[in-house]
Amino acid sequence: MNSFRLFFVGGLTSYRALFYWLSPTIYIPSLIVAPIFQILLFAYIGRSAGLQSDVFYVTGNAIQYAAIPCLFAMSQTVSGERYQNTLHAILVSPANRFPLFVGRALPVMGNAAFVSAFSFAAGCVILGVSLPAGSIPGLAVVILVAAFSCTGLGLTNAAVSLRVRENAVLSNVIFGFLLIFTGANVPISELPTWMQDVSHVLPLTHAIQAARDLAAGEPFSDVTGLLATELGIGIAYLAGGLALLRVFEWQGRKHATLEQL
Amino acid sequence: MRTLRLLGIGWLFHFKMIMRSAFDGVGQVIYPLFFATVAFFVFRAGDSPRTLLYASLGAAVMGMWSATSTTAGSAMQRERWQGTLEALVATPANFALILLPVTIAMATIGIYSLVATLLWGRLLFGIDLTVVHPLLFVLSIPATVLTFGALGFLFAVCFVRFRAAWALGNMFEYPVWLICGFLVPLTFFPAWVRPISWILAPTWGMNAIRESSLGGSPLPDLIMCFVLGSAYIALGFLVMERLLRAARERAALSLT
């Protein structure tokens, strides 16, 4: 029961306390307006370069932008505690680390899915992209799976925040890598072979492909393989993030560097 | 002379500070490279007659704007966090003359981004930089930096009453990239967008750099940079006077 309480109540409380972008003055510019302009930017670059259609850029960027709330919110779950001098209190507690950190990831995932879905819808309306009506439930599932897998990467990022001071720079760099490698704006086949190989082990790549397939009218049953792979990648990053948290927590205790700023 | 000294020392001081910040100095130089890389791939894979050099120059100027927009938006907020805003406002020097070199220093960091992006394009994508009017090209870069700094100054002044000014500055990163013709010609946009592009100095700075490199007549663009940059600074001075007076009257400068 304690673990359930820690997972749901603790997760929501810490999210509300630590994700300081929840203020409307930050949330609206950063998570409502910015993704729409990212979609428009790349859709117009695509038109200017004569590459792909608007629907390609809407699906790619709406799903890829889930990375921003996932990476920043998850890193703030660690760095926020550190800045408020509460990290040591959290880490000396006997609380089970799995519900402690995964509980914090749940609201992040919900928010990422909302940001992604909203920018997807706004991008479609502004650019006049029409999707098959039957694809919408499937796209909702894709967005949820993408948000989950990216939250897994976010947890890994949070773990690294135990060792890296400049987590905002790190989050931006990871976002930049995802922008290039996931095929959000460039067809994967146009990337060099080594980049294609990397793209297959990153979150979002398979979700973006699944969303494009659904938008092209393919049935949901045809993208279940892609979604299963995306889910597997998300679980792998989540497990990796939890393992890294353990390692860095142990190292931080050993070297007394947990709160080093 | 005193004013020039204040501007010069202020610029140097803040330039050094920004260079030592991981977020502003390193992050703002590296971050645009990701967008430049995507642009290179898109233009290389596309069937547009626009060349990779066209994309390279646009992506390079994107980096200059990145270095300015977020950080300039929060320039006064940073002084507020550091507890130096009240002291700076209380000095006999006009506060606008203290703030202006800060945003110009931020825009100057953009030169690193410009050079890094052009080198990135050369080394990874084999994009050769050909410059038809070398002298005007060299002139276009500081002119663009100054106009970016002037626009950043106007942002910093206008956002002074917002605690989350950085988020507003950040919000303007993509729109300026989009509508100032960095990677997309203005003819692609609806007619109502173009007047907005024309009153934004980055449009003319981009034109000046591109025309001096690819061939054309960059002089009218440079004149527009000068006119708009001067207008931003004049407007910033006026708005600053009013905002500071209002903040003093209400004792609301620190926003606590």
Contact criterion met (CB < 8 Å) for B178 and A37: yes
Contacts across the A-B interface (CB distance below 8 Å): 112
Report the sign of the C-alpha dihedral through residues B121, B126, B132, B138, in that order: positive
Decide if A17 is inside a domain.
yes
Decide if A261 is inside a domain.
no
Decide if B104 is inside a domain.
yes
Chain B residues lying within 8 Å of A46, measured CB to CB: 42, 46
pLDDT for res A4? 80
Nearest to A179 by CA among B174, B23, B39, B46: B39
When pLDDT is cut at 50, 70 and 90, the band that residue A56 belongs to is very high
Contact criterion met (CB < 8 Å) for B171 and A191: no
Residue B185 φ/ψ, nearest 5 degrees: -60, 145
Rounded mean pLDDT, B12-27: 78
Decide if B150 is inside a domain.
yes
Mark A207-234 as b/e (b = at least 16 C-beta within 10 Å): bbbbbbbbbeeeebeebeebbebbbebb
For B147, the domain range is 2-249
Q: Which residue of A has its CA nearest to B159?
A: A25
Each residue of B46-71: pLDDT tens digit?
877 667 888 888 988 988 888 888 78
pLDDT for res B20? 78
When pLDDT is cut at 50, 70 and 90, the band that residue B23 belongs to is low
Distance between CA atoms of residues B183 and B59, nearest Å = 7
Which has more confidence, A80 or A69? A69
Across the interface, which of B35, B37, B43 has its CB nearest the CB of A49? B43
Decide if B122 is inside a domain.
yes
Across the interface, which of A23, A34, A44 has its CB nearest the CB of B171? A34
The number of domains in chain A is 1
Q: Which contiguous run of DSSP H or E holds residue A257?
A: none
Contact criterion met (CB < 8 Å) for A176 and B30: yes
Distance between CA atoms of residues A28 and A173, nearest Å = 22
Decide if B255 is inside a domain.
no
pLDDT for res A184? 94
Nearest to A91 by CA among A159, A152, A36: A159
pLDDT for res A41? 95
Contact criterion met (CB < 8 Å) for A168 and B170: no
Most confident of A15-29, A209-223, B13-27: A209-223
Decide if A113 is inside a domain.
yes
When pLDDT is cut at 50, 70 and 90, the band that residue A1 belongs to is low
Contact residues of A toward B, CB < 8 A: 21, 23, 25-26, 29-30, 33-34, 37-38, 40-42, 44-51, 165-166, 168-169, 172-173, 175-177, 179-180, 185-187, 190-191
Decide if B40 is inside a domain.
yes
**B227 token code pair:** 């006119």
In Å, how far is A48's CA from the nearest CA of chain B? 6
For A124, the domain range is 2-255
Contact criterion met (CB < 8 Å) for B48 and A42: no
Contact criterion met (CB < 8 Å) for A48 and B34: no
Distance between CA atoms of residues A239 and A259, nearest Å = 24
The ipTM, to two decimals, is 0.89
Nearest to B72 by CA among B172, B209, B178, B3: B172
Decide if A172 is inside a domain.
yes
Distance between CA atoms of residues A118 and A33, nearest Å = 10
**C-alpha to C-alpha distances, A31 to A36, A66, B168, B176, nearest whole angstrom:** 9, 9, 12, 17
The number of domains in chain B is 1
Each residue of B201-238: pLDDT tens digit?
999 999 999 999 988 889 999 999 999 999 999 999 99
Beta carbons of B206 and B189 less than 8 angstroms apart = no
Decide if A203 is inside a domain.
yes
Chain B residues lying within 8 Å of A50, measured CB to CB: 46-48
